[in-house]
Every structure is written in C-alpha cells, then in structure tokens.
Structure 1
C-alpha cells in the first residue's frame, strides 16, 4: 500500500460552549478556539501507525477550509503525516460547504494522488453528518467500511472490526478502499515539540475546488439556527405508582 489519504477538518474545539449568532444565521466562530476534529485525529494516528508498520509508504493529510485550516494540517504533519494539501475556500463558502462537496474533493484527490486508502473520521463534531466516507466510496466506486474500531491488513485486503447494535461485525474489504474510524480504534499521540518544528518544513500544497473541477455551490438554505430547548427541571416521586400516574397524565404511557 503506497499512499494513504487522510481527511482532517478544523472544527470548534470540543470543550467550547457553542453560541448561536444573534441573527440566527449560524454559530459564532470569530475569536473561538478551533482544533482538529477528534475523530480525524484518530484517522491520522491510524494512518501514521500504518506507515510505522511498513504497511504504507506515505501519509497525505487533506483539509478543505479557509486559511486557518493550515493550522490543522500542521497538527497532522506534526503527528507524522508526510505532506499536506490545503483545498482553500473563503470563510463564506466554508459555512455552506456540505459533505457532498467534501466527498467529491477527496475523491478527486484520491485519484490524482493515486491513493490506495482514504481514511476519515466517522463524523465531524460540528455538523454530525456522518456522510463523507460513504459518499467518497460511492463517487469512486470503492468498497467502504465505516465506524472501524480495529483494522488489520492481510494480502491486499483489510479486515475491519466495527461496532454495531448487536455487538461487533467483522468485514473484509479489498484495497483500494475508504474507511471511517470510531473512538475505540486508537488513542492519538500528542505532537512533540521536535515534531512540531519539523512540521513547519513539511510541504503544504494549496489548491481550490475549482482546480479540481468541483462545484461548491450550496444545495441548502439555512432558514434559522436555534438554541436547543432548555430541559425542564425533574421531580422526585415517592413510588412507582405515582411515577406511572404522572407519565399517564403527561401522555407518555
């Protein structure tokens, strides 16, 4: 397996409380801490481990977004990726970009880079779409394995373990393939200071969706973004009979 392409997304940091803009057109991003999507960190870690085990020769990180996305790519390079590709879009375009656009971009790059494997996080923590991996595979007509919690390579194919409602499902997929990763696959490493310094010298290639022939025109219109409804305070009941009565009164039983 010569080359692994890893998709990484810049998202609002998981520890930050997200606030809706006053005009309800989206969420506040200015002056807010951003970081790499946690599931994408797992994807980068897995790709780097594959290289360390001599299962892959090169790891290429890709991010689509505004100029600040290069910070996310530098993190991936510091973790061990060999080089990076920044697909630059304006902040306004980025707010409306969707998984269908990202999947087409990554599919085009997978072909251009002659990648054998595309790895992405199972979902981004900002939009929770869980669509990109499936759409990449559909565009390329490659086999896909999602929510991977274990990956092993044997003779030109991957053996994948994935958690399902009833337990663990084991799949075999032939390479080239697209996989999305779950939390239990690995624990991402911290980028050390020497590797952070080395990452500054690693190349980041800049292109645009137009260079790849991908139209990023929005297919949706955001009508309104609302804060979730506040939960009402609970109440303590003395016994099960009272609980059943209250549930019936509320129309839940």
Structure 2
C-alpha cells in the first residue's frame, strides 16, 4: 500500500483513544485498590503478529510496550469471535505476567469475519490464594506458594462465560467477590466494539494498523508512539522528549 502518513496518524490517534477508554473503564469499575489507587493495570491494542500497536497515553505502566504477545496468542490457536483468554502464568504467557496476581486477558477482534487485531489487558488482582494474603511476600521461595496458576484458558467461548473457570478463580481467592468483579470481561467487549468501528472507518483490509507497515513511513514522519509528544523523531527507546503530566 502507498505510504499515507495522514491516515497513519489518524488511525494511530483513534486506536490510542480506544485503549485509553478501555483503561479508564477498568479503573472506574474495579473494586481493588491495586487498580483504583495504585493503577497497577494496563490495556493495549495488538496487531495480528502480537505487537503493541496502540497503548493508552494515560497508562502508568509502559514496560510492556516493547513486549511480544505472540507466546500468549499461540497458546490457543483456535480463537473465534467472542473468545476471551485468561492467564496469570509467567512461563506460559512468555513473561507478560510478572507474578501470579497479574491476570492477563486477550480477545481476538474480527472485522467482516477476518482477524484484524487483539484487545489485551492485565490487572493486579488483590489475592489469588497462596501462602499469604495478597499472594505476595519476599519470604516465598517458589511460584506454587504465590497462589493459583492459570494457564492460557478460555474465560469466554463465543461470547459465553466459562463458569467453571470463573468459579475456580473465585474459590481460590480470599476475596472472591472482589476478584470476580476485577475479571472485568466487559472491558474486552468494549474494546472490540470500538475497534470494529475504527476498522469500518479505516476501510477494508486495513485492520488495527490501518494497512500501513509501521516501518514503511517517510523519514520526515515522527515515530508515532501514543505516549510520545510527536516532537521527537528518534525511536521510542532513545526518546528524551518531555512528556506532559497527563501523558505520564
């Protein structure tokens, strides 16, 4: 496809806004202080290869921006519309979960029957069982002491909740009502609706990235990372441009 810097900028901003709205939807709905006060959670829109394409400008966590989510995507290859995958296992998720309280959700997004992107989020759960309340302690010596390990499993199948998995997660927590609320499956559905709308605006075949190779842009166009001011032309890992308080 011919280079189109204007379309790339528009789609980048729109998808960044989708991730941002997902982010605030989680924070408003959560019952956990880890989410509401500590903001220990994040959202993102991924391309079909498992790379982050849109990240919320308001997110406090940015260390997962450069991660590749392919390990999690490949764990369940037969994803269908309406499926939502959940996992908190650091080994089975390729390091996306840094410890068991970090529960990751992944939902494939389809447009006209074609996979175009993934909606992803993680949130630090208040308790997932284990030796101590909150499932965290420097005294723990192995992962089994942290609590319940959830390999990549379908929390939803074709839009229908996997009640067995929901109940297993709740019953292995000291605060089951809070954990049940913080699963927040509504956030994945919300991201799907908004991303599908952007797919229609972008046109057929464009998907999450607008059909434009992110490496195939004119040299004069800045690297379009959602949290960058847009004034810096260096790749994000070396970006030293000032950021506003809002963006941090």
Q: Give the TM-score band, short-chain normalised.
A: 0.3 to 0.5
Decide which structure has greater strand share. Answer: 1
**Between Structure 1 and Structure 2, whose CA radius of gyration is higher?**
1
> TM-score normalized by structure 1?
0.32
> TM-score normalized by structure 2?
0.32
